[in-house]
Amino acid sequence: MNEPSSLAPVGVVGLGLMGSSIVAALLVAGHPVRAIAPIATEAPHAPERIGGQLRQCRDADLIGSTQLYLDALTVSEDYAALAGCELVIECVIEKQEIKSAVYQKITGAVSAECIIGSNTSAIPISELQKFVQIPARFLGIHWAEPAFMTRFLEITCGEQTDPVFAERVFQMAHGWGKEPTLLKKDIRGFITNRLMYAVYREIFHQIERGHATREDVDKAFRYDAGSWMTLMGIFRRMDYEGLKDYESILGRIFPQLSNRTDVPEIMQQMVREGARGVHNDRGLYSYEAGEGHQWDEAFARFNQEIHGLAAEYSAEKVKAYLQ
């Protein structure tokens, strides 16, 4: 990555789990970061948490040492600290009225040149855009957890976003070590989420009919889809398999897929019963007490490995073996 503080300062508003992780990603990329904690209790813990994340980055050889990067961070409750930022990323909770108030405060602190991005995954960018003074400079910048260790970044235009600014953030994101995607319309759920919901619609349909178990579905995805996903994605996979079979099977299977619109009963039941998955050891699987933490640890380590693997197998590198 870049030297610490070698780039222009970026603002981050919101220092929850995701916000901290985004701060770490931007520090590693070489930006000084001006972090705003709208929730006063978040501020004191943030540097320690972000320090821990930077040590993970160091252990993964993304940076040489942590302190110089951590020195490029300021944490404040005062939005005035955002003055001079050309980009501010909002990652507060998914409530329109709270986000709206946050945008007022950001706008009060920055110049008219500043681009404001939201990390929302739940609210349409075109909606949030109504709350800012210059909608053309507002867009979605959606990260994947942990932001400092994933290559994914989804940039989404709202109806009023000027594509020039989306393009600018798209370019910047390459400098952050990301493989950004640019979505020109803010369809609900953006790309991966929306596509995965297509999977969920079909799989709940099959599970409810007793055609397969949850365990079997997870195995199929881990070992079958998982065996090519990180190498190829969707369309490269089709090219790899050859296209003719797909064409005939698309026509046969599309009419048989579920078109349901209701919420599957098992999910309603889980929520009724207060199941929060690994977070309270009750979910679609059963968990021993404390097992949730193990999954956090495992995901952090796995992510580091798959991150490295994805880089080794970029399309450019596959092609380069030709020479």
Nearer to a copy of itself, 105 or 168 (CB): 168
Part in contact with a copy of itself (CB under 8 A); list of ranges 11-19, 83-91, 161-169, 214-222 = 214-222
Interface with a copy of itself (CB under 8 A), residue total 116
Site for a copy of itself in 19-58 (CB under 8 A): none
Q: Under 8 Å CB-to-CB from 161, ≥6 apart: which residues?
A: 125, 129, 135, 136, 137, 138, 139
Q: Are 12 and 29 in contact (CB under 8 A)?
A: no
Decide: is 141 part of the binding site for a copy of itself (CB under 8 A). Answer: no
Structure tokens of 233?
A: 């994605």
Structure tokens of 283?
A: 């979910």
Site for a copy of itself in 285-314 (CB under 8 A): 285, 287-288, 290-291, 294-295, 297-299, 302-303, 305-307, 309-310, 313
User: What is d(CA 245, CA 72) in angstroms, rounded to the nearest whole number?
Assistant: 54
The runs of H, that is alpha helices, within 90-181 are: 96-109, 125-128, 163-175
Nearer to a copy of itself, 70 or 128 (CB): 128
Decide: is 84 part of the binding site for a copy of itself (CB under 8 A). Answer: no
Closest contact distance (angstroms) between CB of 13 and a copy of itself is 21
Decide: is 167 part of the binding site for a copy of itself (CB under 8 A). Answer: no
Decide: is 242 part of the binding site for a copy of itself (CB under 8 A). Answer: yes
Part in contact with a copy of itself (CB under 8 A); list of ranges 48-56, 85-93, 107-115, 284-292 = 284-292
User: What is d(CA 169, CA 182) in angstroms, rounded to the nearest whole number?
Assistant: 10
Site for a copy of itself in 147-166 (CB under 8 A): 150-152, 154
For 165, other C-beta atoms within 10 Å of its C-beta total 20
Q: Are 150 and 144 in contact (CB under 8 A)?
A: yes
| Helix (H) or strand (E) segment spanning residue 88 | strand 87-90
Decide: is 113 part of the binding site for a copy of itself (CB under 8 A). Answer: no
Decide: is 93 part of the binding site for a copy of itself (CB under 8 A). Answer: no
